[in-house]
Amino acid sequence: MSPTDLTPHRLPTIIRCAVAGIVATAVFLGLADILARFFAPSASPLVALGNTIIELSPPALQDFAISTFGNNNKLVLFISMAVGGALLAGLLGILAGRRLKTAGAVFSVIGLVFISVVLRRPDTGWVDVVPTVVGLGMGLAALTALVITARPRASAAPEDERPPAASRRAFLGLAAAGTAVAAVSLTLGRSVQTFTQDVATSVGRLVLPSPAVRAAIIPDSASVGVDGVASFITDNSEFYRIDTALVVPELNPEEWTLRIHGLVENEVLIDMSELLSLPLEEHHITLACVSNPVGGDLLGNATWLGYPVRELLARANPLPEADMVLSRSSDGFTASTPLEALTDSRDSLLAVGMNGEPLPAQHGYPARLVVPGLYGYVSATKWVVELEVTRFDQDTAYWTERGWDERGPILVSSRIDVPRALETLPSGDVVIAGVAWAQHVGIDAVEVQVDDGQWESADLASEVSVDTWRQWRYVFPDAEPGRHWVSVRAVTADGEVQTGERQDPIPNAATGRHRIDFEVE
């Protein structure tokens, strides 16, 4: 055999051992993950670790991940975990090749770390460590068996690094079996449908009542009719998703309740059948994420069906000293909403429907808050189970503890959707179009500046509600061939002009004007 012959069954011992470490770790985490389906969601060591990383990562990193990867931030986290984990597991396998006992001890210590990570989650108790313990045992067994077959026999001639053929086959067989076990468990463990038939079918079963108050009819004139501009209503499947939940919480609407307590005269407990029997209202409201970068797409507009939070709070009757409502989700996320935004005349909803359907699981099924005029992180709690009436000087919320503004009002902003950045267009008139928003204040004007010329007024689509975004359109006449650039700014109904001063999202949203360059042929 030539020294460079690295066909799979001729791999050097060190690589076989690294493979052993990776396969054994995958067996551990895969088996624990599938077993966890019978326990709490965070009983999966993988899920618990991912959630712990999210929770403990510095706010700047979390903000970077959301601003840069947007809806894909969790995928990026998973991939980083997989790459980092495989590296560590490979090293562990190599160690096992030299000192199996030491590696076994390290493996067990890692297992203990996973156990403590699982126990730290808000939704787990002692029994939820069972999947990790069982997985750990199987992983250790896999590591031992794999490493023993991966190592050259002591009896082999010293110059022959390779184990005998029988042992090579045993190693390959074991490695393939281990990989199959891990792959099947992870695939089944991660496919929500497998063990959640009852939730999946109850998603289908929650029948929304028709609204007592219907949303405004959306006229054709709410759209400027330019292809490529975000449509006035965002499809549920295209709606941005931002949350700290690595695994989407699965709440059974039959067991769901919302508890209102704290600085209130009466504690209120409401369940789903009572909620659905109340006169529900439908409103178009544009939701936005504070982490949205200038020109970004972390916002969307939907028709929400729900019950006014104002009415629920009136039942509870907040005490005069209260000034904040801390809403809490089933997975421990919290948002601090100024009490006033939930009791004034705006259409703050405890929502159960989104664009004519029950809330999709990712968007808070079976119930969430939607508050016009405030960023999602201080108001739009998904999977909401609790409203604690309190005070800003007494309580803080998830993102406030990480350096973000405690009140989070939405800032006026605008975006160019057409043309696309760096698009090449034929000469002549150039259609420029996009959206602008200043929820709960309203957009009065949008202005466009091409090539550092005058600020020109864009045409506005008709206003459906001050709580929604508004499309705009401007035709730049007779564009000369060559490079051009365009900026946009919006003016609110209060006369506030969107600032051109650039500021990062933290602590209270990015500012600055969206600008794109395009080319005319």
Task: Show the site string, 269-298: x = touches ligand MTE by CB under 6 A, - = not.
Answer: ------------------x-x---------
Alpha carbons 59 and 75: distance in angstroms, whole number: 18
Residues 224 and 473 sit within 8 Å (Cβ to Cβ): yes
Q: Which parts of 137-176 interact with Mo ion (CB under 5 A)?
A: none
- The residue nearest Mo ion at its CB is 289
CB of 154 to Mo ion, least distance (A): 59
Query: Which residue in this structure is represented by tokens 């909403």?
Result: 337
- Answer for which of 376, 409, 419, 505 binds ligand MTE (CB under 6 A) is 376
* 304 touches ligand MTE by CB under 6 A: no
Which residues face 301 on adjacent strands? Answer: 286
Return all residues near 245 (Cβ < 8 A) that are at least 6 apart: 51, 331, 333, 383
- The residue nearest ligand MTE at its CB is 376
Which residues face 281 on adjacent strands? Answer: 213, 306
* Residue 12, number of CB atoms within 10 A of its CB: 13
CA distances from 136 to 40, 43, 110, 515 (A): 18, 13, 9, 53
Residues 79 and 69 sit within 8 Å (Cβ to Cβ): no
Task: Show the site string, 14-43: x = touches Mo ion by CB under 5 A, - = not.
Answer: ------------------------------
Return all residues near 333 (Cβ < 8 A) that are at least 6 apart: 243, 244, 245, 381, 382, 398
Residue number with CB closer to Mo ion (289 or 425): 289
CB of 390 to Mo ion, least distance (A): 21
Residues 278 and 207 sit within 8 Å (Cβ to Cβ): no
Residue number with CB closer to ligand MTE (243 or 447): 243
Look at residues 326, 327, 338 and name the one whose alpha carbon lies nearest to residue 384: 327
CB of 330 to ligand MTE, least distance (A): 8
Residue number with CB closer to Mo ion (298 or 520): 298
Residue number with CB closer to ligand MTE (39 or 399): 399
Q: Which parts of 224-243 interact with Mo ion (CB under 5 A)?
A: 242
- Answer for which of 348, 381, 413, 487 binds ligand MTE (CB under 6 A) is 381
Site size with ligand MTE, rule: CB under 6 A = 18
Chain CA centroid to CA 192, Å: 16
- Answer for which of 333, 365, 404, 474 binds ligand MTE (CB under 6 A) is 333
Task: Show the site string, 241-260: x = touches ligand MTE by CB under 6 A, - = not.
Answer: xxxxx---------------
Look at residues 435, 515, 69 and name the one whose alpha carbon lies nearest to residue 230: 435
CB of 511 to ligand MTE, least distance (A): 17
Tell me the one-letter amino acid at 120: R
Q: Which two tokens stand for residue 409?
A: 């009002």
Look at residues 13, 16, 15 and name the one whose alpha carbon lies nearest to residue 154: 13
Return all residues near 61 (Cβ < 8 A) that are at least 6 apart: none
- Please identify, among the stretches 92-100, 236-244, 261-269, 417-425, the one whose residues bind ligand MTE according to the rule CB under 6 A: 236-244
Helix (H/G/I), strand (E/B), else coil: 116? helix
CB of 289 to ligand MTE, least distance (A): 3
- Please identify, among the stretches 94-102, 108-116, 257-265, 289-297, the one whose residues bind Mo ion according to the rule CB under 5 A: 289-297
- Please identify, among the stretches 20-28, 107-115, 377-385, 462-470, the one whose residues bind ligand MTE according to the rule CB under 6 A: 377-385
Residues 312 and 350 sit within 8 Å (Cβ to Cβ): yes
Phi first, then psi: give them for residue 249, nearest 5 degrees. -60, 145
Task: Show the site string, 363-402: x = touches Mo ion by CB under 5 A, - = not.
Answer: -------------xx-------------------------
**Residue 436 exposed, middle or buried by CB count within 10 Å (0-12, 13-18, 19+):** buried
* 312 touches ligand MTE by CB under 6 A: no
Alpha helices in 36-129 (DSSP H): 45-56, 59-69, 73-98, 100-120
* 74 touches ligand MTE by CB under 6 A: no
Residue number with CB closer to ligand MTE (243 or 281): 243
Alpha carbons 366 and 351: distance in angstroms, whole number: 8
Residue number with CB closer to ligand MTE (348 or 449): 348
Residues 493 and 441 sit within 8 Å (Cβ to Cβ): yes
* Residue 95, number of CB atoms within 10 A of its CB: 19
Task: Show the site string, 184-223: x = touches ligand MTE by CB under 6 A, - = not.
Answer: ----------------------------------------
- Answer for which of 382, 402, 440, 489 binds ligand MTE (CB under 6 A) is 382
Q: Which two tokens stand for residue 70?
A: 């947007």
CB of 505 to ligand MTE, least distance (A): 11
Residue number with CB closer to ligand MTE (114 or 404): 404
Site of interaction with Mo ion (CB under 5 A): 242, 289, 376-377
Site of interaction with ligand MTE (CB under 6 A): 239-245, 287, 289, 329, 333, 363, 376-377, 380-383
